[in-house]
Amino acid sequence: MIYFFDGTKNGFLCALTEAFHDDAAVLVTSQVQLALGESPVLVSTDDEKAKKAENRLLSFDKDCMYDLDTLFRSGMENHLQIAFDYFRLLAKMKKPIGKRLAEPAVFAAVECMKKVGHEIHKMHGFIRFMETESGALYAPFAPDNDICDRLVPHFRARLPEFPFVIHDTARKKAAVYDGKNTFVAPLDGAQVLLSANEAEWQSLWKRYYQSVTIPARTSKERNKQMKGYMPVRYWKFLTEKQENPTNFDEIT
């Protein structure tokens, strides 16, 4: 059976309750081509029902809502289905299942969460801040997963005196730290005025990047290795990989 839900966490929990006994349940949030004779179930989101499901799940595994949040952030096409299969198994087993890697549903969910975690870790390194006129820092990026707010604690801990904006240009949203509080806001185009020295620091960094490369060690294979660690799709936002100083029209 196919289950439509509204894409929210509560909607997911309600769908889970409804489809619990359906082993062939398929979860979708958008219109899909249905085979002849198939009638989808429209899951209505009921907050109270969702809360009940949540509490039940938490009684089996107290960390499972963090996992759900992580799975929701995944950019994988079938991430909701992966979450669904994982949580259905959790509800069946009634105890933490995260280490049962021989279970395909667990393995898939763990891999999916790992991907999100890895990207967060990578972005701790790959975020590139630019200094704006006011001294606040601005970093545009377009991650595979929905993680901009998950990056905030890391940067807040190390740059507590600098307000900053981490802008997910693909999802058109931003995580903002104003020097005190953190919040997430929709953000489409951003008008950013850079500080007087910003261009110079960027070109010093590029110079540094060039000069640390050891030509005698550069090879096709090593280059492939670089791209493995630092995928080309991230380069657009990496200062050292851009020809010219950052041009905002291109980014936003």
Partner 1 sequence: MITEEKLKILTDSAKYDVSCSSSGSGRKNTGGMGNGYVAGCCHSFTPDGRCISLLKIVLSNDCIYDCKYCPNRLSADVPRATATPEEICELTIDFYKRNYIEGLFLSSAVHKNPDYTMERLLLVVKKLRTEYRFHGYIHLKGIPRADERLMQEAARYADRMSYNVELPSEKSLKLLAPQKSKESLLTPMQKLAVQSAAFKEEKRKGLIKGHFLPAGQTTQMIVGASPEPDGQILRLTQALYRKNGLKRVYYSSYVPVVRDALLPETSGGQLREHRLYQADWLLRFYGFSVEEIVNEGENLSMEFDPKCAWALRNMHLFPVEINRAPLEVLLRVPGIGAKNAYKIIEARKYTKLSFEDLVKMRVALKRAKHFITCNGKFFGAKSENAVRGLLVAAETQESAEQLDLFGMLSTPQNALIALTGQL
Q: Which residues bind partner 1 (CB under 8 A)?
A: 99-102, 104, 107, 118, 121-122, 124-131, 137, 139, 155, 157-162, 197, 200-201, 203-205, 207-209, 211-219, 221-226, 229-230, 238-240
Where is 57: in which H helix or E strand? Answer: helix 47-60
CA distance 72 to 81: 10
Contact in structure between 87 and 9 (CB atoms under 8 Å):
no
Query: Closer CB to partner 1, residue 37 or residue 229?
Result: 229
Smallest gap from residue 11 Cβ to partner 1 (A): 31
Residues ≥6 apart with Cβ < 8 Å to 67: 61, 86, 98, 109, 113
Smallest gap from residue 102 Cβ to partner 1 (A): 4
Smallest gap from residue 159 Cβ to partner 1 (A): 6
Q: What is the largest CA-CA distance in the chain?
A: 65
Query: Closer CB to partner 1, residue 2 or residue 139?
Result: 139
CA distance 235 to 140: 12
Identify the bridge partners of residue 183 per DSSP, sorted by sequence position.
Answer: 176
Query: Closer CB to partner 1, residue 57 or residue 130?
Result: 130
Smallest gap from residue 82 Cβ to partner 1 (A): 15
Contact in structure between 43 and 10 (CB atoms under 8 Å):
no
Where is 175: in which H helix or E strand? Answer: strand 173-177
Residues ≥6 apart with Cβ < 8 Å to 59: none
Query: Closer CB to partner 1, residue 72 or residue 205?
Result: 205
Query: Closer CB to partner 1, residue 188 or residue 200?
Result: 200
Smallest gap from residue 209 Cβ to partner 1 (A): 7
